[in-house]
C-alpha cells in the first residue's frame, strides 16, 4: 500500500514538473514578445522624449567602448568575415559554373549573392558579437543592481529608455560598416574570379553591373538595418530579464 502511494506521488510530481516547465516556457516567450513589441511601438515616443539619450547611445556605439567604427574591433571583424566569405563565394561560384561552361556569369552571381545575402548577414553577426553582448551585460547589470526598478519608480519608461534608444542607435550606426563590408565582398570575389581563376575582367564587370540594381542595394541596406534592430532587441531582452545575480548576467 505504501509502495503504491509512493509511486502515485512520484508520477504526480513528475507530471507537475513537466507542466510547470511547459508553462514557464510559454510565459517566458510571452515576456520576450511583449518586450520586443513595446520596444518597437515606443520608437516615436523615444525620439520625442529621449532624443538626447539616443544621441548619447549613437556616440557610444560609434566611438565609445562598444564602437562600430573605431577602437572596438568590429570593423576588422566585418572586413575579415566579408573577405573570407566572399572569397569562398568566388571559388564555389566559379567551380559550379565551370561544370556547365558558364563561368562568364560569375559576375552576375557575385552581384546578387554579395548584395542580397552575404553583406547583411556578416554585419548582423559582427553586431551581435561585439555590440549586442555589451548591451546585454550593461542592462543585465542594471537589472541585478535594481537600477531598472529605480527607473520605474521615477516614472521613467524603462523599455524605451534602455532598449529602444539602443535599437535606434544600432540601426543608425550599422549603415557605414555595412557599406564597407559590402565593398570588401565585391573586391574579394572579383579578385578570386578574375585574378586567381583568370576570368576576363571585362566579361566579369559587364555581368556584374548588369545584375547589380539600385533597388537591390536599397533592399540590402534595409535588410542590414532590420537585422541590427532584431539583434539589438534580442540582446537587450536577455539583459532586461536577467536574474540570479552576476551568474544570471553571464
pLDDT in tens, 103-159: 888 888 888 888 888 889 988 888 888 788 888 888 888 888 888 888 888 888 888
Give the Cα separation of 168 and 51 in Å (integer): 10
Q: What is the pLDDT of residues 191-224, one digit of tens each?
A: 888 888 888 888 888 888 888 888 889 999 999 9
Give the Cα separation of 129 and 192 in Å (integer): 28
Q: pTM here?
A: 0.80
Which residues contact residue 230 at a Cβ distance below 8 angstroms, ignoring those fewer than 6 apart? 124
Residue ranges of domains in the chain: 42-249
pLDDT at 221: 92
Cell numbers that stand for 5 in this block: 502511494
Helices (H), the chain: 2-41, 43-49, 51-63, 74-99, 106-113, 119-127, 133-144, 147-153, 158-159, 165-190, 201-211, 214-240, 246-249
* Cα–Cα nearest to 193, from 74, 98, 99: 98
- Residue 174 in this model has a pLDDT that exceeds 90: no
* Cα–Cα nearest to 179, from 223, 221, 230: 221
- Residue 241 in this model has a pLDDT that exceeds 60: yes
Amino acid at each position: 500500500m505504501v509502495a503504491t502511494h509512493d509511486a502515485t506521488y512520484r508520477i504526480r510530481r513528475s507530471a507537475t514538473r513537466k507542466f510547470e516547465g511547459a508553462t514557464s516556457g510559454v510565459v517566458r516567450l510571452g515576456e520576450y514578445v511583449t518586450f520586443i513589441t513595446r520596444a518597437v511601438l515606443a520608437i516615436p515616443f523615444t525620439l520625442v522624449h529621449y532624443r538626447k539619450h539616443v544621441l548619447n547611445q549613437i556616440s557610444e556605439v560609434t566611438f565609445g567602448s562598444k564602437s562600430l567604427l573605431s577602437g572596438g574591433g568590429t570593423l576588422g571583424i566585418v572586413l575579415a568575415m566579408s573577405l573570407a566569405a566572399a572569397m569562398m563565394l568566388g571559388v564555389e561560384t566559379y567551380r559550379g559554373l565551370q561544370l556547365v561552361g558558364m563561368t562568364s556569369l560569375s559576375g552576375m552571381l557575385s552581384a546578387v549573392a554579395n548584395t542580397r545575402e552575404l553583406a547583411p548577414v556578416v554585419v548582423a553577426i559582427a553586431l551581435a558579437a561585439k555590440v549586442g553582448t555589451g548591451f546585454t551585460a550593461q542592462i543585465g547589470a542594471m537589472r541585478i543592481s535594481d537600477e531598472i526598478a529605480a527607473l520605474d519608480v521615477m516614472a521613467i519608461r524603462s523599455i524605451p529608455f534602455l532598449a529602444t534608444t539602443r535599437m535606434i542607435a544600432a540601426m543608425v550606426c550599422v549603415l557605414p560598416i555595412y557599406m564597407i563590408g559590402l565593398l570588401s565582398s565585391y573586391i574579394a570575389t572579383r579578385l578570386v574570379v578574375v585574378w586567381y581563376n583568370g576570368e576576363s575582367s571585362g566579361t566579369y564587370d559587364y555581368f556584374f553591373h548588369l545584375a547589380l540594381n539600385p533597388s537591390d542595394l536599397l533592399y540590402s541596406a534595409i535588410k542590414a538595418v532590420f537585422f541590427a534592430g532584431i539583434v539589438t532587441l534580442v540582446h537587450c531582452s536577455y539583459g532586461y530579464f536577467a536574474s540570479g545575480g552576476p551568474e544570471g548576467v553571464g
